[in-house]
A = this chain, B = another copy of it.
Amino acid sequence: MNPLRAKELAEQLLAGDKRATARLITHVENREPNVEQALTKIYPHTGNAHLVGITGPPGAGKSTMTDKLIRLARAAGKKVGVVCVDPSSPFSGGAILGDRIRMQEHAADSEVFIRSIGTRGGQGGLSRSTQEVAMLLDASGYDLVILETAGVGQTELGILEVAHTIMVVLVPESGDDIQMMKAGILEIADILTVNKCDRQGADHVVKELRAMLELVDGKQAWKIPVLKTSAERGEGIKEVFTMMGEHREFLKNSGQIAQKRLHFAKTAILHIVRDVAALSVEDRLRSAKGLALLEEVSRRKIDPFTAAEKLFR
C-alpha cells in the first residue's frame, strides 16, 4: 500500500465506509507498509469508544455472551464493533469457528462490525494489532468495541491491556481452578460473571469469588461485581450490560479514565518502539558488517548482549 492509498482509506473510514475499515484492519493485521500513515490520520478521532475486553476459559460461553451484549447495545442505539482475538493454537480452531458463525447473524446489521484476528505478526504483535484495530473501530464511530479472547496468559494479557473494562467469564466448573487463577483474575477483572449458572455449583463459585474479593480487594474504590448469568437463556445479561456502563462511569468520575488513557498511550508508543528497534537492527544485521557480527555470535566469539549494544548505537 502506498502512503496516498493509506490516507485515502483513512478518509473513507472516517466517513463511515465499512469496507475501508475492513481493509485497514487487514492491513494492520498483515503489517502492511505505510499502514502507519492511516493510523496517524485516524488517531485524533479516537478516544470515544468504550473498549471492553472479555476473556475466560474455552467453552465458558463468551461468544454467546458477546452476541447478547451486541443485541442490548443495539437496542440502546449504540454501534458495536467486535474483535475476536485468537492467540492460541489452531488446535482449538473448530469451536471458535462455530462461535463466529453464530455471531455472524449480526453481519447484516450495518451498525455492527465483527472481525477475527489471529496469530500473524511477531511477538507482542497481536497486542499491537488489537490496539490498532480498536483504534480503527473507535475512529470509525463504533460506540462499544468488544475485544474477545480466551485465557489470561501472556499474549491475552497484552490484548486485554488495551481495554477500559475487563470482564472475566467463568463457569460453575471453574471452581476447582479458582485457587490457581486467583492472582491472574484479580489482577485484571473489573467484572466477574459466572455463566451457565443453571449448572450445579454456580452459587458456590459465586460465594467463593465474593469471599476471595473481600479478602484481597477491600480497599479498592471499584467493587468488582460477581454476576450470575446464563447467556444461552439471556439471563443476567442486562445486569452485565448495565455494569459495563457503570464501570465506564466510575472510570470517568474517579478520574481513573485519565490514567487509563495515559497507559494506552504508553502501550501504543512501546509497541511501536519495540518493533522499530527490532526492524532497524534486523536491517543492520543484513549488511555485510551485520552478518559478520551474527556469525561471531553464532560461533560464540562474542555474546548477544555485546552484539546488541554494538548494533543498537
Residues of chain A at the chain B interface (Cβ within 8 Å): 36, 39-40, 43-44, 46-47, 56-58, 86-94, 97, 119, 121-127, 150-158, 174, 176-177, 180-181, 183-184, 258, 261-262, 264-266, 268-278, 281-282, 285, 294-295, 297-300, 303-308, 311-312
* Chain B residue at minimal CB-CB distance from A297: B265
Contact of A269 among B157, B266, B281 (CB under 8 A): B281
**Alpha-carbon distance A266/B278, docked complex (angstroms):** 10
Shortest A196–chain B CB gap in Å is 15
**Alpha-carbon distance A151/B307, docked complex (angstroms):** 32
Return chain B residues, CB-CB under 8 Å to A278: 270, 273-274, 277
Return chain B residues, CB-CB under 8 Å to A44: 300, 303
Contact of A155 among B155, B261, B274, B311 (CB under 8 A): B155
Contact of A89 among B123, B153, B305 (CB under 8 A): B153
Known: A261-B299, A271-B304; 10 extra A-B contacts, CB below 8 A, are: A86-B153, A89-B151, A89-B152, A89-B184, A90-B177, A91-B152, A265-B304, A270-B282, A273-B277, A276-B312
Does the CB pair B89–A261 fall under 8 Å? no
* 7 pairs from A and B in contact (CB 8 Å cutoff): A40-B306, A56-B91, A89-B184, A91-B152, A91-B181, A268-B297, A269-B281
**Alpha-carbon distance A269/B302, docked complex (angstroms):** 11
Contact of A303 among B40, B181, B299 (CB under 8 A): B40
One complex includes copies of this chain to the number of 2
Does the CB pair A298–B46 fall under 8 Å? no
* Chain B residue at minimal CB-CB distance from A91: B57
Does the CB pair B90–A184 fall under 8 Å? yes
Does the CB pair B304–A269 fall under 8 Å? yes
Most B-side CB within 10 Å, residue of A58, A123, A312:
A123
Does the CB pair B269–A308 fall under 8 Å? yes
**Alpha-carbon distance A58/B89, docked complex (angstroms):** 10
Most B-side CB within 10 Å, residue of A91, A97, A122:
A91
Contact A36 to B305, CB < 8 A, known contacts A123-B158, A273-B278, A294-B262 = yes
**Alpha-carbon distance A57/B91, docked complex (angstroms):** 6
Shortest A277–chain B CB gap in Å is 3
* Chain B residue at minimal CB-CB distance from A89: B151
* Chain B residue at minimal CB-CB distance from A184: B90
* Chain B residue at minimal CB-CB distance from A264: B298
Shortest 3 CB-CB distances between A and B: which pairs?
A89-B151, A123-B124, A277-B277
Contact of A177 among B91, B124, B269, B273 (CB under 8 A): B91
Does the CB pair A281–B270 fall under 8 Å? yes
Contact of A305 among B40, B47, B92 (CB under 8 A): B40
* Chain B residue at minimal CB-CB distance from A299: B261
Return chain B residues, CB-CB under 8 Å to A269: 281, 285, 294, 297, 304, 307-308, 311
